């Protein structure tokens, strides 16, 4: 996978620095094919490599408990920038920047931006190094370019699955957003968080397209789930056991509010929030997810029962309105 920089010399240096004997490699799905080669690199550096085969959903999902169980000296976490303030096990974040040229994809996007003058930029950690180049291309095309830097993430223009603060900080100043990166996941998140037209420039396929229809379809699905959950008699509140997604205190508050509404409430603790859970508890009518909100939004069609984000729950509890949530952005608390 030559399109990503895995900072191999740095890996060797970090292993030597902490004199690691056991190293856990953690990669997101798209990078997992590189695990065998990286494991050989770790082995040559004098350490025993162990590869986490579990899904990895982001920098909030560091495999700390697995590392502690395996007596790991160092975690190599690939594909994300540092998020957690403190790690229980020494952790090195290898951002895995893409080396793919983005010019062709941006050129494909320009015709789709014709009717917009002020353009906001968004991207993932893999392409933050291209933002200046993309900005220059848009300026040459006569566009006014705005790059958000709300200070919550590591880099300007960066978005992650649950944090769109950078694009939200400039949403009122732009007509549309251009997302530079592969796939629709983050781009749809930009559209949902800002309610602005969003165009993808995909450098891997050298294509460009709008995600506005996908975003509108999701919004209709979310409103339907809110209405179904409001009618539910028994509600499950999901608590993740992942270090960066564990919000038991919030779950307890939601449980209290639901019970005041006359609902029967159960709290479920789990590592992976998978659609199969709805089959195991047939008497539960709906769920409130206190972990990553993207699970509720992107995987909604896979679940047999409604599964709301904590933000969407506020509509049912009367703390907010659907219109207010859309105005603030779907992922904004």
Read off the tokens for 211: 């995600």
Residue 2 lies in a domain: no
Per residue in 200-256, pLDDT tens?
999 999 999 999 999 999 999 999 999 999 999 999 999 988 777 778 999 999 999
Per residue in 161-214, pLDDT tens?
888 999 999 999 999 999 999 988 899 999 999 999 999 999 999 999 999 999
Residue 112 pLDDT level (bands cut at 50, 70, 90): very high
Q: What are phi and psi of 273, to 5 degrees?
A: -90, 95
Helix orientation angle between 248-260 and 310-317, rounded to the nearest 10 degrees: 20
Q: What are phi and psi of 323, to 5 degrees?
A: -65, -40
Asked if residue 220 and residue 175 are part of one domain, the reply reads no
Q: Length of the chain in residues, anyone? A: 333
Per residue in 11-67, pLDDT tens?
999 999 999 999 999 999 889 999 999 999 999 999 999 999 988 888 888 888 899
Boundary-marking domain end, from 210, 233, 256:
210
Per residue in 251-274, pLDDT tens?
999 999 999 999 999 999 988 888
Q: How much is the average pLDDT of 113-122?
A: 97
Asked if residue 107 and residue 157 are part of one domain, the reply reads yes
Q: Are 241 and 62 in contact, with CB atoms under 8 Å apart?
A: no
Q: Which CATH number goes with the domain that contains 43?
A: 3.40.50.11840
Asked if residue 321 and residue 220 are part of one domain, the reply reads yes
Strand partners of residue 237: 267, 288
| Helix H or strand E encompassing 11 | helix 8-18
Residue 200 lies in a domain: yes
Boundary-marking domain end, from 181, 210, 239:
210
Asked if residue 146 and residue 83 are part of one domain, the reply reads no
Residue 1 lies in a domain: no
Asked if residue 233 and residue 322 are part of one domain, the reply reads yes
Asked if residue 306 and residue 278 are part of one domain, the reply reads yes
Boundary-marking domain end, from 94, 112, 142:
94
Q: Which CATH number goes with the domain that contains 194?
A: 3.40.50.11850
Quick one: pLDDT at residue 169? 93
Asked if residue 202 and residue 120 are part of one domain, the reply reads yes
**CA dihedral sign of residues 294, 295, 296, 302:** positive
Q: How much is the average pLDDT of 114-126?
A: 97
Strand partners of residue 269: 239
Asked if residue 179 and residue 195 are part of one domain, the reply reads yes
Give me the chain's average pLDDT, please. 91
Asked if residue 128 and residue 85 are part of one domain, the reply reads no
User: Which residue range(s) make up the domain with 165?
Assistant: 103-210
C-alpha angle 287-291-293 in degrees, rounded to nearest 5: 80
Residue 173 lies in a domain: yes
- Cβ–Cβ contacts within 10 Å for residue 328, how many? 15
Number of domains composing the chain: 3
């Amino acid at each position: 996978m030559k399109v990503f920089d895995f900072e191999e010399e740095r890996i060797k240096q970090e292993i030597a620095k902490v004199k690691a004997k056991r190293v856990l490699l953690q990669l997101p799905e798209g990078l997992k094919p590189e695990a065998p080669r990286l494991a050989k690199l770790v082995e040559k550096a004098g350490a025993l490599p162990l590869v986490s085969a579990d899904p990895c959903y982001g920098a909030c999902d560091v495999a700390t408990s697995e590392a502690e169980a395996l007596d790991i000296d160092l975690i190599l976490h690939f594909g994300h920038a540092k998020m957690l303030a403190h790690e229980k096990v020494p952790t090195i974040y290898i951002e895995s920047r893409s080396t793919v040229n983005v010019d062709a994809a941006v050129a494909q996007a320009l015709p789709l931006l014709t009717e917009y003058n002020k353009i906001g930029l968004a991207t993932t950690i893999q392409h933050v190094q291209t933002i200046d180049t993309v900005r220059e291309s848009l300026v040459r095309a006569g566009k006014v370019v705005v790059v958000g830097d709300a200070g919550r993430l590591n880099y300007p223009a960066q978005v992650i699955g649950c944090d769109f603060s950078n694009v939200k900080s400039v949403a009122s100043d732009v007509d549309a957003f251009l997302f530079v990166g592969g796939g629709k996941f983050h781009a749809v998140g930009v559209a949902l968080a800002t309610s602005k037209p969003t165009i993808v420039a995909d450098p891997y396929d050298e294509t460009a397209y709008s995600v506005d229809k996908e975003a509108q379809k999701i919004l209709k699905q979310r409103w339907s789930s809110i209405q179904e959950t409001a009618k539910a008699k028994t509600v499950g509140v999901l608590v993740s056991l992942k270090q960066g997604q564990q919000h038991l205190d919030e779950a307890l508050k939601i449980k209290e509010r639901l019970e005041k509404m006359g609902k029967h409430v159960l709290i479920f603790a789990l590592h992976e929030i998978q659609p199969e859970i709805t089959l195991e508890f047939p008497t539960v009518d709906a769920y409130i997810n206190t972990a990553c909100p993207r699970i509720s939004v992107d995987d909604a069609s896979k679940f047999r029962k409604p599964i709301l984000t904590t933000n969407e729950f506020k509509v049912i509890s009367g703390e907010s309105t659907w219109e207010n949530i859309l105005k603030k952005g779907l992922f904004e608390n």
